[in-house]
Chains A and B, each alone.
Chain A
Amino acid sequence: MTQRPVRRSSWGALFFFAALGLCLGSGVARAQLPATAMGTGAPDQGDPRVEAALLTDVSQVKPGDSFRIGVRFRMDPGWHIYWKNPGDSGLASEIVWDTPGTTVGELQWPTPITFRSPDGFITSYGYGEEVLLFAQAHVSDKLTGSAQLSAAADILVCETRCLPAQLMLTRNIPLGSETRPDPEHAPLFDEALSRVPVTPESSGHVVTLALDTKPLTAGRPFTGTLTVTGPKGQPVPAVEKDFFVPERVRGLARLALSPVEGKPGTFKLEGETAPDVPEQEPRFVGVLRLGPASVGRPSLTLDLPLAPVVAAEPGAAGAAPVVKPAPAPKPPAVVATAVAPESSLSLGLVLLFAFLGGALLNLMPCVFPVLALKAYGFTRTVHAERGKVVLHAVAYAGGIIGSLLALALAVLALRAGGHSVGWGFQFQEPLFVAAVAAVLVAFALNLFGVFTVGTDGTALVEKVDSSHGLARSAGEGVLAVVLATPCSAPLLGTAVGFALAAGPATVLATFFMLGLGLALPFCLLVLVPGLAKLLPKPGAWMERGKQLLGFALLGTTVWLVWVMGGLTGVDGMARLLAFLAVVGLGAWLYGLAQGSTGARKAAGVAAVVAVLAVGGVFSLRFEETGPAVRKASAVGEAQPWDEAAVAAALEAGQPVFIDFTADWCLTCKFNERTVLTREDVQAAFAEHRVAFFVADWTRRDARISSKLAEFGRAGVPMYLVVSPVSPDKPEVLPELLTSDTVIDAVRRASKRMADAR
């Protein structure tokens, strides 16, 4: 730092001083600065309040080389100029370059200081005393002679009063065979550079921003939390006063950070959106000073996405007694990503989606065992009691619809209790998984003939009593629903997502339509006369077929055991298997008791109850394992989903693929195994440097539930492809993936990035 010269009282004195310097040769470098490269401005009763000098960090430059160019401003004591965001008042300093043959890059702004009016009402940002605003410059290798440099500076110099100043500074830098640093000025540039804020990435800091509410509402305040972690996780130091300087952000009226007491590196964010809905989602942009640069603490330049801004509802929240209808608020430019089109679904369309989704569920792998079972049951019934076919169909549909409505009521009850639930949520509950597995095992053992249901165990097929048959049909309907929930069919996710966000009547109506759709194939089988007759005639094959179906159910049980493993770990799996063994024992004992009568039968049933109770108490204790025990995903290089990590990947220019999945979601597993792990898909991921994230919803996770809800979904699977160019507009892929869908989406995300360059 050179010592601050005394204030000169006039141009004459300046020239005199400069001439004196030249004559005496008091400083070689100072002497080299031509008079045209220096200027003064903001004359205050004839006395300039600022002086400026056009500096470079080289005294000679080789064509094709780069150097630094800047304007140094020195202000009188008490006077200041402004940062790129001047704050409440003032005017950003501006430098316009005119440098033929030399390109000058973006102006670098050292971290500013904060000025406040004595009453604290007006805050502005800028520089007092001395500042060097500089940029990188590159000399064309075709340039000869010398590089002509000129800078027009437009600044506002304020104390209490404000004085505008326009300065024109010019000089030439000789070109030569080598670039020679300017020994006096190069250190000034180094010093200024050390004061320029750096990105968190380059300094190893991790910055995350969590808003308390999303989306933001125009003209309303919002809050959030910003956390900063130092390199290698070390804590950031406590900050000093005026540590944060916001940039001017379109769409925001206010942006302020305050440190959270006792938690270094944690800041409370308070902001307010402008009354207009901005065309683009506002970002959080500003400079965070972690400490004085002199002790090696950098300032960080922050640029984080906020959230979309939507218009306030007209007439809401304290609107004035407006007699004339207030001007219609502009329709929100872009409402929260993909929610807009889906939320605008009409109820009719949602019900149609629910119906079609329910019908498609029949083709999903989870419902298939029941489908087979039902086909078997119908084969028997259709030929045995033609008149009752319709009744059976009604019972089956009734079982489906009844249990779906029960599910809807459960959802509503949970929602009323403040829980966030989604399609398939019950599979996040270990006891539910255990119960379904137990029912399946019992069902299988029944098909194997270990015990019989409802009759005395003789002549089962012949003595099908109609009421029992109907109850069984209804039960099969319930089982279809139980098994269908982990499969989210196309359209279904949309419909249920919409319904879960709507009122109780809509929820019930949607689930009702879903049930009708699920029951549709069998209703068709019955209502279209010719179809039922196409089924094969009953015979001895039916007994073997029945036993075969038992194994299909055991297969489903294997899957549930695996789900339990994801939920509760190896111990949980073992406990479930133990419980299932107990269930098997119980079924066998029950089968024995069925063969006897009187007291022996009663004792048998009591033994069954005792065995189940004791076995249940000892085995049904599932402890959810911590989230640390995560399995490797089916897809290589996958990272657990995290908003901050996604933001970091996008920041680094990588397209992002997010796989919202769950162990109990067969559609998800199917997609992962048949599409996402395919070689061509993997090759496309590698080619476009896709960051692959897995959001695992096997267990309850409010973050994932709310993310799904953001896209109008209530369950998994959901696939998002995000381009770094438009991080706020992810593309949502269909529930059933094909490799082409995935590859095309990834290409688009990557291409948009290439286009934007």
Chain B
Amino acid sequence: MKSLFTAVALAVMLPVVALAAETAQVGKPAPAFTLKDESGKEHSLSQYKGKVVVLEWTNPGCPFVQRHYTAGTMQKTLAGFDANKVVWLAVDSTAANTPDKSAAWRKEKGFSYPVLQDPSGTVGKSYNAKTTPHMYVIDEQGVVRYAGAIDDDPRGNKKTGVTNHVKTAVDALLSGKPVPAATTEPYGCSVKYKS
């Protein structure tokens, strides 16, 4: 009974909290959220306090996301971090997405992190997520420290010298330095929000 009450309260409160926090802004606290992943497990941003959290807005149907997953950009970036200090969460705000699709995508590409389900788009909009991929890096205190593109190669045709903005941001945070470029222009498909 008590847990039911909590669940109802949470369900009522959640959008309010998201609204109260307005949208994610670099230098401000990240909007709180609780979302289920493709296996039904709940993830709250607050439970990862003390770790650097990378949020990746994703959509398996987007050619830009496909390109990066084929090249292993996200997987390799995560592999370069200390697993005890960095958490990676994919978020799919595509209205037409289902947990099954995410599960199949995860299996096909073989990545370890969960795909949070946000078909209503509430969390996506609270983060002002506009593209897939759209990346956010949140520091140990829950403050947004980076928002933007995964790298500086929108066309995927740079042979060398690609800067991975997420890697740069996380490395800076872990070594206690300011993030060199706190925002970049994200590129990719638009997030297909429910309308």
Interface residues of A (CB under 8 A from B): 86, 88-91, 94, 117-119, 121-122, 124, 154, 156, 158, 160-164, 219, 248, 253, 274-276, 312, 318-324, 326-330
Contacts and interface: CB of A to CB of B under 8 A. Distances in A.
A324 B187 CA distance: 32
Interface string B164-185: 0000000010001111011101
A276 B182 contact: yes
A176 B154 CA distance: 41
Contact of A219 (B27, B176, B186): B27
B187 A154 contact: no
Contacts of B185: 248
B55 to A, nearest CB: 17
Where chain A touches its partner, the secondary structure class is loop
19 contacts: A86-B187, A88-B131, A89-B131, A89-B188, A89-B191, A91-B188, A117-B190, A119-B193, A119-B195, A161-B61, A161-B189, A162-B63, A162-B189, A164-B63, A164-B64, A320-B141, A322-B141, A326-B27, A328-B178
Contacts of B145: 327
A632 to B, nearest CB: 51
B152 interface: no
Nearest to B61: A161
Given A119-B195, A275-B183, A320 B189 contact: no
A117 B193 contact: yes
Contacts of B187: 86, 89-91
Nearest to B187: A91
B157 interface: yes
A90 B190 contact: yes
Contact of B26 (A88, A219, A324): A219
Contact of A322 (B130, B143, B183, B188): B143
A276 B191 CA distance: 25
Interface of B: 25-29, 61-64, 121, 125, 130-131, 139-143, 145, 154-155, 157, 172, 176-179, 181-183, 185-195
Given A154-B157, A275-B27, A327-B176, 8 more contacts: A119-B121, A119-B194, A156-B63, A162-B64, A276-B183, A312-B27, A319-B28, A324-B141
A270 to B, nearest CB: 16
Contacts of A323: 141
B48 to A, nearest CB: 16
A160 B194 CA distance: 12
Nearest to B140: A324
Given A274-B183, A321-B29, A327 B178 contact: yes
A154 B155 contact: yes
A121 B193 CA distance: 9
A88 B190 contact: yes
A740 to B, nearest CB: 44
B63 to A, nearest CB: 5
A118 B131 contact: no
Where chain B touches its partner, the secondary structure class is loop
Nearest to B63: A164
Contacts of A158: 189-190
A327 B183 contact: no
Contacts of B179: 327
B63 A163 contact: yes
B188 A160 contact: no
Given A122-B190, A124-B190, A318 B28 contact: yes
Nearest to A154: B155
Contacts of A86: 187
Contacts of B154: 91
B130 A276 contact: no
Contact of A94 (B25, B155, B191, B193): B155
B96 to A, nearest CB: 9
Nearest to B30: A320
Contacts of A94: 155
B190 A319 contact: no
Contacts of A318: 28
Contacts of B188: 89, 91, 162
A313 to B, nearest CB: 12
A117 B27 CA distance: 28
Contact of A160 (B157, B172, B192): B192
A428 to B, nearest CB: 44
Contacts of B186: 89
B154 to A, nearest CB: 6
A88 B193 CA distance: 13
A154 B154 CA distance: 11
Nearest to B192: A160
The 10 A-B pairs of least Cβ separation, nearest first, read A327-B178, A118-B195, A89-B190, A88-B130, A162-B189, A320-B29, A275-B26, A119-B195, A89-B131, A275-B182
A163 B62 CA distance: 8
Contacts of B139: 324
Contacts of B125: 121
A118 B95 CA distance: 12
Nearest to B188: A89
Contacts of A320: 27-29, 141-143
A320 B193 CA distance: 29
Contacts of A329: 178
A164 B155 CA distance: 9
B189 A89 contact: yes
B141 A219 contact: no
A162 B178 contact: no
A328 B193 CA distance: 37
A162 B177 CA distance: 37
Nearest to A89: B190
A94 B156 CA distance: 13
Contacts of B121: 119
A160 B187 CA distance: 16
Given A318-B28, A320-B142, A327 B177 contact: yes
Contacts of B191: 89, 121-122
A699 B162 CA distance: 58
Contacts of B195: 117-119
B191 to A, nearest CB: 7
A154 B187 CA distance: 14
A577 to B, nearest CB: 64
A89 to B, nearest CB: 4
Contacts of B183: 253, 274-276
A86 B81 CA distance: 32
A497 B194 CA distance: 57
Given A161-B61, A276-B182, A122 B130 contact: yes
A218 B141 CA distance: 22
Nearest to B186: A89
A327 to B, nearest CB: 3
Nearest to A162: B189
Give the residue among B27, B130, B155, B157 with the most A Cβ atoms within 10 A: B27
Contacts of B181: 276
A330 B62 contact: no
Nearest to A160: B192
A91 B186 CA distance: 10
A245 to B, nearest CB: 15
A90 B140 CA distance: 32
A152 to B, nearest CB: 10
A121 B125 CA distance: 8
Nearest to A122: B190
Contacts of A124: 190
A326 B186 CA distance: 24
Contacts of B63: 156, 162-164
Contacts of B178: 327-330
A118 B62 CA distance: 18
A148 B193 CA distance: 46
Give the residue among A154, A318, A327 with the most B Cβ atoms within 10 A: A327
Nearest to A94: B155
B193 to A, nearest CB: 6
A90 to B, nearest CB: 7
Contacts of B131: 88-89
A684 B79 CA distance: 64
B31 to A, nearest CB: 12
A164 B185 CA distance: 19
